[in-house]
Structure 1
Amino acid sequence: MDIILIPGFWLDGSSWDAVAPALRAAGHRVHALTLPGMDSPTADRSGITLRDHVDAVVAKIDACDPAEQVVLVGHSGGGAVAHAAVDARPDRVARVVYVDSGPLADGDAINADLPSENGEVPLPAWSGFDDADLTDLDDELRAAFRDRAIPTPARVATDPQQLRDERRYDVPITVIACEYPSAQLRTWIAQGHKWVRELARISDVTYVDLPTGHWPQFTRPAELAAVITGSLTSA
Structure 2
Amino acid sequence: MPFHFDLVYVASGLAVGLLVGLTGVGGGSLMTPLLTVLFGVPATTAVGTDLAFAAITKGAGTVVHRLRNTVNWRVVALMASGSLPASITTIFVLHSLDIHAAGKGSPMDLFIRWSISICVMLTVCALLFKPRILKWIETNPKAQLKDSTRKVTTVVAFAIIGTLVTVSSIGAGAIGAMVLVMLYPTMKSAEIAGTDIAYAVPLTAVAAFGHYGLGTLDFSLLGALLLGSIPGITVGSYLSRAVPEKFLRGVLATTLTAVAAKLVM
**TM-score, with structure 2 as normaliser:** 0.26
**TM-score, with structure 1 as normaliser:** 0.28
* Structure with more of its chain in helix, by fraction: 2
Q: Relative contact order, CA 8 A, sep 6+: which one is greater?
A: 2
